[in-house]
Amino acid sequence: MKKNKIVIGSRESKLAVLQSEMVRDYIKKQNPELEVEILTMKTTGDIILDRTLDKVGGKGLFVKELDKALMDGKSILSVHSLKDMPMEVQEELPLLAFSKREDPRDVLVLPEGVTELDKNKPLGCSSLRRTLQLKKIYPDMEVKSIRGNLQTRLRKLDEGQYSGLILAAAGLKRLGLKARINRYFTADEIIPAAGQGILAVQGRKGEDYGFLDGYCDADAWAAGSAERAFVKLLDGGCSSPVAAHAEVYGEEIYLRGLYYNEKDGSYVTGTLRGQRKDAEKLGRELAETLREKGENKE
């Protein structure tokens, strides 16, 4: 790789490329002398679309190929949605920076031109985390799995296969599709996935990443660290529907979490407030509290 050339590894979906371009534009603006290009690739998670993620190996499926490109020196960094990152990150491939957080909420999207939910058709939703929480909001509706990138899902919705989709606001807003949002769910109604709305930049140990100086958002790093510590302690990947969402207020963090009991399919939620400097400790503490509560409830 040329000395003044930066290669960013990215999934090839429209949203993934757009997110990589956001990081590329930052690097170029700060370092005009550098040549920055994006290397796109299909990941296993993009190829296997006929099964839910928990059936085929969880979050790692979206990073395997990007990790290999990093290890082989084909790229010097990868850009991921933090919510797609496995909780265990290889020591040789550290997380370098988190972007400023986009809107972390989940939203409802209706078919083009429709204003009311059709109760006779299913809601499309790709995660157990959302499915569990939706049962409280729409107890009388069927929730059906939907996979594929954002454009594929929206096409299926507009063709009439679903009454509505539950998606992340962040992706829709980044793609300029904010107008498609019919309803925002508060973090109390549906606790978002850990890391939702944050971009993660991953690199290779021992490289100089001075060109990224100033990119990392301190609030996002604190919130993301608390959320990931919560999920990691409960060992939640894509297969286990845990959820965690942190809000940062100055030196304080307010953390919400959801623990799912696989034995009986029940779940409990809870919150914890603490100091931002203790972000990871807070995540672990809330996880332990909720696990205990979830397993010992009467």
Task: Give me the domain span that covers residue 33.
Answer: 1-99+198-216
Q: Is residue 54 in some structural domain? A: yes
Statement to judge: residues 159 and 208 lie in one domain:
no
Tell me the HSE value of 43 on the side-chain side, using a 13 A CA sphere.
30
Which DSSP string corresponds to 55-87?
Answer: HHTGGGGGTHHHHHHHHTTS-SEEEEEGGGS-S
The pLDDT of residue 53 is above 70: no
Q: Is residue 52 in some structural domain? A: yes
Statement to judge: residues 202 and 77 lie in one domain:
yes
Write out the catalytic residue numbers: 84
Q: Is residue 190 in some structural domain? A: no
Please give the tally of structural domains in the chain: 3
Q: Which of 256, 246, 213, 244 is nearest to 96 (CA)?
A: 213
Q: What angle do CA 267, 271, 273 make, to 5 degrees?
A: 160
* pLDDT band for position 142 (cuts 50, 70, 90): very high
> What is residue 127's predicted lDDT score, i.e. its pLDDT?
87
Statement to judge: residues 72 and 113 lie in one domain:
no
Q: Which of 290, 226, 219 is nearest to 255 (CA)?
A: 226
Q: Is residue 247 in some structural domain? A: yes
Statement to judge: residues 222 and 209 lie in one domain:
no
For residue 90, the domain's CATH number is 3.40.190.10
Statement to judge: residues 15 and 141 lie in one domain:
no
The amino acid at residue 36 is V
Statement to judge: residues 62 and 203 lie in one domain:
yes
The pLDDT of residue 237 is above 80: no
Share of the chain above pLDDT 90, in %: 78
Residue 138 CA to residue 43 CA, distance in Å, equals 33
Q: Is residue 168 in some structural domain? A: yes
For the chain, the average pLDDT equals: 91
Tokens found for residue 126: 């790709």
- How far is residue 57 CA from its own chain's centroid? 16
Q: Is residue 189 in some structural domain? A: no
Residue 69 CA to residue 2 CA, distance in Å, equals 16
Q: Is residue 191 in some structural domain? A: no
The residue that leads in pLDDT, 58 or 3, is 3
> What is residue 21's predicted lDDT score, i.e. its pLDDT?
97
Statement to judge: residues 245 and 295 lie in one domain:
yes
Statement to judge: residues 94 and 210 lie in one domain:
yes
Statement to judge: residues 80 and 2 lie in one domain:
yes
Statement to judge: residues 160 and 89 lie in one domain:
no
Q: Which of 20, 51, 171, 38 is nearest to 104 (CA)?
A: 171
* pLDDT band for position 190 (cuts 50, 70, 90): very high
Statement to judge: residues 134 and 261 lie in one domain:
no
Question: Which stretch of 92-101, 149-158, 239-248, 282-291 has the lowest confidence by average pLDDT?
Answer: 239-248
Kind plus residue range of the DSSP H or E element containing 119: none
For residue 271, the domain's CATH number is 3.30.160.40
Statement to judge: residues 7 and 90 lie in one domain:
yes
> pTM (2 decimals)?
0.90
Q: What angle do CA 38, 42, 238 make, to 5 degrees?
A: 110
Residue 30 CA to residue 43 CA, distance in Å, equals 30
Q: Is residue 192 in some structural domain? A: no
Q: Across the strands, what pairs with 267?
A: 260
